[in-house]
Amino acid sequence: MVKCKQIQIFSGTASIYWGLEGWSRCYEIFSEIFEPKICVRLDRNSQLNLDIFVVTQADVVEYSPVKQACRVNCRNGGTCYPPSTCICQKGYIGTECQYALCKPGCMNGGVCVAPNKCRCKPGYVGNSCHKAVCQYGCKNGGECVAPNKCVCRSGFSGKDCSQPYCDPACQNGGECVKPYFCHCPPGTRGNFCEKFHCKPECQNGGICTGKGKCSCSRGYTGYSCEKAYCPGGCLNGGNCGKTGKCLCPLGFTGLHCEIK
């Protein structure tokens, strides 16, 4: 930037040139007579009304530019104003315009390599590296919150949220086929296959156990405990009663109706 010599004030049609040193204001006179440019040195708080001065050719004083070397190397198209000020191109910052500027910035360890262009670390994408990447995606409304890490919605699980989730887990060989719903194997029932199921149902106090079989109470037998049972059987036409004891015909007695 030109450093203007101090000269007497004169006026004319002019345009202002701001200097970086000494608070100079330079004026270019739009007339062949008054070429080249001339300068006026003003104090910091001075104000100049260009309409109140009269300029004659005798008043014109040429300035002598004072050239200074730049002490810095302005990069990326920046312009140097001696001795050490860089005016950077849009998208660059730094004392030498050496840093690219990314807005709103590069996240998750990304590096700004050009104006508004981030180089992202593996596992992240997006203008500001704000979006994590999950290789197989996150299904059923899941959200990728970190590289290959999904946060699943309620009712789903797995690396990609593709597996339905039952809580508590399905029991007795049941399979979770959709959120909180178990498909139960034969012989089981309940929301989580926690109950055994016998068909027909166990009678006379019998209890349904695994594989759809009844465990009969004392004195009963049969697939569904529908038959009374007397150990050793009943003789001489006796019938087994509901209590597991023989009901003997007239003329017979004993545990098995064996006594006449």
CB burial readout 44-70, b (16+ within 10 A) else e: eeeeeeeeeeebeeebbeebeeeeeee
3-class DSSP state for residue 146?
strand
CB hemisphere CA count around 170 (13 angstroms) = 19
3-state DSSP percent of the chain in helix, strand and coil, to 5 = 0, 30, 70
- So what's the pLDDT on residue 241? 84
- So what's the pLDDT on residue 232? 85
Low-confidence ranges of the chain (pLDDT < 70): 1-68
- So what's the pLDDT on residue 47? 40
* Cα(169)–Cα(121) distance, integer angstroms: 39
Note the pTM of the prediction, 2 decimals.
Answer: 0.47
Full set of structural domains in the chain with CATH: 26-61 (no CATH), 166-196 (2.10.25), 233-259 (2.10.25.10)
Nearest 5°: phi and psi at 254?
Answer: 105, 165
